């Protein structure tokens, strides 16, 4: 099978010749730039600075030579702008606190505060308040909350809709060219959709806006999902209307170059429980997810991808009813997320895209033998009858030993018979 055929078979719940593998197609299935650099060195690839294509989490671009060395089957087609509202263009050199030289967009503008923390600015506008902070010696940025004091009498849902607008012709052209490029690789194409992230807490604080209005504090947002549900409904309804209008234009622009789409990264689980009740999910989120997924399934052949960290077993039936085809990252370390149980209960109705190995404990801190054992065990469980794309539980973090990452890759190849 080709990479594309392999992925298509698996996401249609058919066994393929090998378990398909994804690293780097989305902002939640990638590798920290430290890891990408270390892997390039390990495989003896050309020495050159790695591009930080996702600056929020400092994810490194996995280029063609490394994709081939790992055996990657999925190509990402990302949107035209980063989490901070700027394009990745005119790459320039930048150094992490560790001294590692990487490449960043010319719009990646930073300063240091009095404590040595790195501050990053929306759209590269240093005249605006910084929208993210990376602690001195840290590995990624945290969003800076810039919410104005809330006046309950003046709350207006339109303030939380500032970023949701009709897609521009320039952005449509971007998606057309980016998906054409991705399809030409021969891999399956995962495209990130704009404007469909309902209540994604990475997006709520709007790190891409200079002066965000409305409810932008994460804690206040979660309070609002209980105390201000009419307000949230008004946002989700208008956001979904705009998203559906944009989807029609995007489908025309990208044609048949796309196989799956990233819909939403809203997290519904913690390590041990959920962020909301099943009733809240069904009443507040599901109607809008259904509208988006139903349109996609009625008008395209795309499979829809839902990211949610944590203990979300209680929501999986609801995710399926909402129309999602794919669940990521499959946090096997969280309560109730045991691989065997998940596969037996839901494996014929939803694709598990992730769950190949735990990235909180096993991959960064265990021995290579432990890494191999967990990868082989989880691949055996999840791959039966298809419905599985190998990826880690979320991105591989910057302090992960390269020997463990290599042990993971070699275990994948061992299982697939390509080592």
Query: Is residue 203 a part of any domain in this protein?
Result: yes
Please give the pLDDT value at position 266: 97
Which tokens belong to 324?
Answer: 């999602």
Which pLDDT band holds residue 419 (cuts at 50, 70, 90)? confident
pLDDT at 148 over 90: no
Query: What is the model's pTM?
Result: 0.97
Q: Is 14 left (phi over 0), alpha (psi -120 to 50) or beta?
A: beta
pLDDT at 369 over 90: yes
- For 230-273, write each residue's pLDDT tens digit: 999 999 999 999 999 999 999 999 999 999 999 999 999 999 99
Please give the pLDDT value at position 268: 97
Nearest to 62 by CA among 29, 19, 101: 29
Query: Is residue 294 a part of any domain in this protein?
Result: yes
Query: Is residue 125 a part of any domain in this protein?
Result: no
For the domain that residue 208 is a member of, what is the CATH number? Answer: 3.20.20.210
- Find the Cα–Cα–Cα–Cα dihedral 312, 313, 318, 322, rounded to 10°: 60
Angle at 346 between CA 340 and CA 348, to 5 degrees: 105
Distance between CA atoms of 339 and 332, rounded to whole angstroms?
6
Query: Is residue 103 a part of any domain in this protein?
Result: no
The range of the structural domain enclosing residue 176 comes to 3-32+71-82+149-416
Query: Is residue 177 a part of any domain in this protein?
Result: yes
- For 174-225, write each residue's pLDDT tens digit: 999 999 999 999 999 999 999 999 999 999 999 999 999 999 999 999 999 9
Contact criterion met (CB below 8 Å) for 189 and 259:
yes
Distance between CA atoms of 419 and 413, rounded to whole angstroms?
5
The per-residue DSSP string of 118-148 comes to EEE-GGG-TTSPP-EEE-TT-SS-EEPP-PP
pLDDT at 385 over 90: yes
Average pLDDT over residues 67-76: 98
Please give the pLDDT value at position 160: 97
Average pLDDT over residues 149-170: 96
Query: Is residue 296 a part of any domain in this protein?
Result: yes
C-alpha distances (whole Å) from 360 to each of 1, 104, 366, 414 are: 33, 27, 10, 23
Query: Is residue 24 a part of any domain in this protein?
Result: yes
Query: Is residue 55 a part of any domain in this protein?
Result: no
Count of residues for the chain? 419
Distance between CA atoms of 408 and 357, rounded to whole angstroms?
8
Label residue 137 exposed, middle or buried (CB < 10 Å: 0-12, 13-18, 19+): exposed
Query: What value does the mean pLDDT of the chain take?
Result: 97
The structural domain count of the chain equals 1
Which tokens belong to 363?
Answer: 């991959």
Three-state DSSP class for residue 389? strand
């Amino acid at each position: 099978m080709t990479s594309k055929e392999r992925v298509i078979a698996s996401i249609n719940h058919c066994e393929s010749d090998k378990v398909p593998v994804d690293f780097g197609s989305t902002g939640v299935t990638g590798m920290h730039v430290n890891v990408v650099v270390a892997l390039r060195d390990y495989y003896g690839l050309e020495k050159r600075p790695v591009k930080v294509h996702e600056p929020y989490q400092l994810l490194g671009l996995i280029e063609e030579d490394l994709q081939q060395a790992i055996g990657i089957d999925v190509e990402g087609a990302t949107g035209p702008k980063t989490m901070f509202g700027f394009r990745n263009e005119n790459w320039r050199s930048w150094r992490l606190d560790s001294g590692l030289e990487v490449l960043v967009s010319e719009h990646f503008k930073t300063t240091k505060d009095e404590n040595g923390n790195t501050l990053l600015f929306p759209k590269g506008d240093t005249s605006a308040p910084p929208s993210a902070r990376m602690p001195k010696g840290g590995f990624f940025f945290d969003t800076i909350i810039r919410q104005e004091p809330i006046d309950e009498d003046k709350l207006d849902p339109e303030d939380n809709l500032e970023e949701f607008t009709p897609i521009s012709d320039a952005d449509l052209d971007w998606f057309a060219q980016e998906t054409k490029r991705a399809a030409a690789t021969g891999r399956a194409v995962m495209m990130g959709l704009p404007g469909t992230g309902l209540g994604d807490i990475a997006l709520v604080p709007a790190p891409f806006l200079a002066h965000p209005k409305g409810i932008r504090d994460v804690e206040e947002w979660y309070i609002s999902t209980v105390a201000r549900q009419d307000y949230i409904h008004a946002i989700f309804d208008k956001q979904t209307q705009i998203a559906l209008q944009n989807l029609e234009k995007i489908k025309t622009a990208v044609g048949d170059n796309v196989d799956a789409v990233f819909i939403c990264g809203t997290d519904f689980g913690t390590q041990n429980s959920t962020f909301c009740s099943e009733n809240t999910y069904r009443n507040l989120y599901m109607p809008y997810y259904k509208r988006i997924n139903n349109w996609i399934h009625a008008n395209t052949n795309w499979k829809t991808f839902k990211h949610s960290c944590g203990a979300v077993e209680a929501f999986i039936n609801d995710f399926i009813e909402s129309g999602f085809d794919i669940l990521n990252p499959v946090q096997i370390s969280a309560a109730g997320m045991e691989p065997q149980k998940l596969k037996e209960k839901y494996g014929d109705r939803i694709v598990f895209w992730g769950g190949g190995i735990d990235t909180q404990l096993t991959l960064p801190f265990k021995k290579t033998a432990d890494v191999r054992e967990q990868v082989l065990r989880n691949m055996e469980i999840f791959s039966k009858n298809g419905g599985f794309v190998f990826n880690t539980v979320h991105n591989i973090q910057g302090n992960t030993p390269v020997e463990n990452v290599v042990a993971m890759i070699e275990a994948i190849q061992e299982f697939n018979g390509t080592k």
